[in-house]
Amino acid sequence: MKINDYKNLFLDRDGIINKVIMRGDTVSSPRYLDEFKLREDFIAFHNRLEDSLNLFVITNQPDIKRGLLKENDLEEMHELIKKNFSIKEIVYCPHDDEDKCICRKPKPGMIRKITNKFNLNLGQCLMIGDSNKDILAAQASSIDSIFLKTEYNSIPSNGFVVNSLLELL
């Protein structure tokens, strides 16, 4: 599977663009700008992508609902992404599982919002994520997916797996 086979790339944020934060044994998102560190392999990956590729970021951010992340801090992180990378749009879900919203991955709401807004051909869309929720959201949206294996996750039962984003180039 190669990136050049697609026109639209959906990226999870935490673990793909930026490093996750370990809080004890729990994988977590950055809550402050000083915790927000870009992944070196993502920078190299992005710099080698075709300019014609549309990049979208979709990310669950339940720490907003939990009162652990301020939307201002989240917006600062997203501004940093937009400033450094050619991202067409960033969509986030501020909800927790108990809200049962349609946007929180593994539900397809964020992907559908973007595919509808930009009238995208689903066959030309690819999701890259580091959690089973990312892969399930892609499946629910009828788009292809790639799972990035890391030291903190376990491989889903189905799908295409890579150990580095650079393997996709």
Q: Is 20 exposed, middle or buried (0-12, 13-18, 19+ CB in 10 A)?
A: buried
How far CA 79 is from CA of 115, 123, 146, 166, in Å, comes to 22, 29, 26, 24
Tell me the pairing of strands 21-23 and 26-28.
antiparallel
Active site residue 144: no
74-83, Cβ contacts within 8 angstroms, sequence gap of 24 or more: 76/33, 77/18, 77/30, 77/33, 77/36, 80/33, 80/36, 81/13, 81/17, 81/57
Active site residue 5: no
Locate 158 and state its tokens.
Answer: 């189905």
Residue tagged active-site, from 12, 63, 134, 144? 12
**Euclidean distance between CA atoms 81 and 35, whole angstroms:** 14
Which residues participate in catalysis according to the annotation? 12, 14
